[in-house]
A and B are shown apart, each in its own frame.
Chain A
Amino acid sequence: MKRVLGWLLLLPLLALCVLLFMSYLAEREEPVVGGPAQDATVQAARGRYLALAGDCAACHTARGGATYAGGREIQTPFGSVYSSNLTPDSNTGLGAWSSDDFWRALHHGKSKDGRLLYPAFPYPNYTKVTRADADALFAYLKTLAPVAQANREAGLRFPYNQRLLLAGWRALYFRPGVFQPEAAQSAQWNRGAYLVQGLGHCNACHTSRDPLGGSETKADLAGGMIPVLNWYAPALTSGPESGLAKWDATQLARLLKTGVSDQGAVYGPMAETVYKSLQYLSDEDMGAMAGYLKSLPPARASAAAPPPSGESLARVMESGGRLYAKYCADCHGANGAGAPPAYPPLAGNHSLTMESAVNPIRMVLNGGFPPGTGGNPRPYGMPPFRLVLSGDETAAVVTYVRNSWGNSAGVVSPVEVSRYAAVPLE
């Protein structure tokens, strides 16, 4: 008995050792080796492109503020953090930073003074960026006009405001390491993987998060509800939810670069991503990302919900159909075929039939424009219908589009509609 007790007492010690070892894995830093010397102009131009690929300006610019001067509020379930000033101002920005400091932030998630950075800055992704690309990014940021704008302290709730606890978070979720190409795959595939996993930080939204805000690595890119924003980021794998398997690679690349395609349009937070980042990527890079995403195996085979049936459904479908004919069919067609790229098709559109109905509900309530991009500078906007349709009617019309023309998904209740009607738009 005594011996068993002794072993039990050893258990916490063992757990501590494991944690310390995990922490060691998260925190160890190789000796810093500078990247190869590069022509400064070429390097900065490449850095500008990479900054667009990483969508850096989206977070590091406040609405109406100077580009890259930071100050945008990033709301998280743990409180708010504010993006930092990336312009080369010596007091408030990166003016006093070296390329080694910048590398440390990108690769190790540590500030110049050694403070652990909050992972709202997606360094679990950026750690995959090569040193040469990090140097190019830094060289570009150095060419910006310095803007004096002090960084704002994070407003996180206790205990998340204790930076020390980040060490524990990092031990669980963070391993520094540059992207390693897979020899068995093509150069194009590896380029796509590098961009998706690294600068693109797609899994920041498209992977669900656990209660501590870590990305669920076992379900990478399998889709998830975006915390606070309350839009559902669809799976990018080939499972039944996203149907990326059913996407034509050319259409997928077109969707990501222009915001519209024959198979659907981007909306919600993805409209911003295309507007500020993806539209600027080269056709080669866009094709590589689309090709890589198309190659992902299904992450999980979620059991398909049984198709709804019954008398009450018939009633909802009947009233939904009448509303559809009155308000939607002019643009999206009586047969749901739409008229792409102006009006996206609804038949076979997986945005509508995901398990969560939040996206079609919010689109009907709020409408919205796809982004105005180089490839589609004058997008057609969908009107908000919240002034026209009641909660019951919205539920009926969304149920109708989720279960017509071969689509099949759950019935939407007026309660769901009112829950998402109350979500702020930003």
Chain B
Amino acid sequence: MAERVAACVACHGEQGRATTEGYYPRIAGKPAGYLFNQLVNFREGRRQNTTMTYLVSNLPDSYLREIADYFSAQNPPYAPPQRLLAAPAALERGRVLATAGDASKKLPACAACHGSALTGMAPAVPGLLGLPRDYLNAQFGAWSNRVRSAAAPDCMAQITSRLSAEDLGAITAYLSAQTVPPHAAPAAPTADRAKLPLDCGSIPRGAP
């Protein structure tokens, strides 16, 4: 399989571990359902990256699922977190938003869906650690400009609309500064999608 997906690792790094280039996200170890959804989103134009769309345009679901399964099963080591110049106050605000949220702004904690360790939740919610800050910022930007979307209801689009620029910057600064815990893996699936703070169309309905 590694030989078939040589095209992917050119940007996403050996086994999908990301490269030092600073933008392309790690795909290794992300939940297979999440990776599959993103491949389909690129193919169907719900996410915009011309190289990704070009590469997956003529590939059937069955093969995209296999590619997603392959990278989901990879577990290469994480690189140390990026060195960032972020004010301590911003990092603290980011920590609060990520771990506790802000009820006054109707913002649930990132951890409420992305796992208490922020390493994702099977089968379709991605981990948030070990990603370049530029990549994280670009995703929020894409949601607010409506060039990234997901199956409806698009929970992340709603959350992005409630985030101020300062809060957004605080979250990405905090997330990209974290050291990924050893043996990081997506949390077990939630028993009921309806119990999440927001309804998300990307997560399979009912019992996992």
Contact = CB atoms under 8 A, between A and B. Distances in A.
Contacts of A340: none
Interface string B25-49: 0000000000000000001111000
Nearest to A63: B45
Interface in B48-76: 50-51, 53-60, 62-63, 66
Given A63-B44, A371-B59, A388-B10, A380 B54 contact: no
B7 A426 contact: no
Chain A: interface residue count, which band?
Answer: 20 to 34
B5 interface: yes
A375 interface: no
A9 B7 CA distance: 66
Interface stretch (A248-256, A361-369, A408-416): A361-369
Interface string A30-68: 000000000000000000000000000000001110000
A425 B5 contact: no
B158 to A, nearest CB: 20
Given A64-B44, A425-B50, A425-B51, A382 B4 contact: no
A73 to B, nearest CB: 11
A381 interface: yes
Contact of B7 (A271, A272, A275, A368): A368
A370 B54 CA distance: 11
Interface string A368-396: 11111000011111111101100000000
Contacts of A366: 51, 54
B55 A367 contact: yes
Nearest to A270: B58
B79 interface: no
Nearest to A266: B58
Interface in B1-28: 3-11, 21
Contacts of A342: 3
**Chief secondary structure at chain A's binding surface:** loop
Contact of B55 (A272, A276, A369): A369
A424 interface: yes
Interface string A57-88: 00000111000000000000000000000000
Contacts, number: 80
A387 B10 CA distance: 8
B53 A371 contact: no
A384 B4 contact: no
A390 to B, nearest CB: 15
Contact of B10 (A271, A275, A384): A384
Contacts of A378: 4, 63, 66
Contact of B57 (A272, A382, A387): A272
B10 A64 contact: no
A377 B7 contact: no
14 contacts: A63-B53, A272-B58, A274-B58, A367-B55, A368-B54, A371-B58, A372-B62, A378-B66, A379-B4, A381-B4, A382-B6, A383-B7, A383-B9, A425-B54
Given A271-B57, A378-B66, A426-B54, 10 more contacts: A64-B44, A274-B58, A368-B54, A372-B63, A377-B62, A379-B4, A379-B59, A383-B10, A384-B51, A425-B50
Q: Which 10 A-B pairs give the minimum distances between C-beta atoms?
A: A381-B7, A64-B44, A383-B10, A63-B45, A275-B58, A371-B58, A64-B45, A425-B54, A372-B59, A425-B50
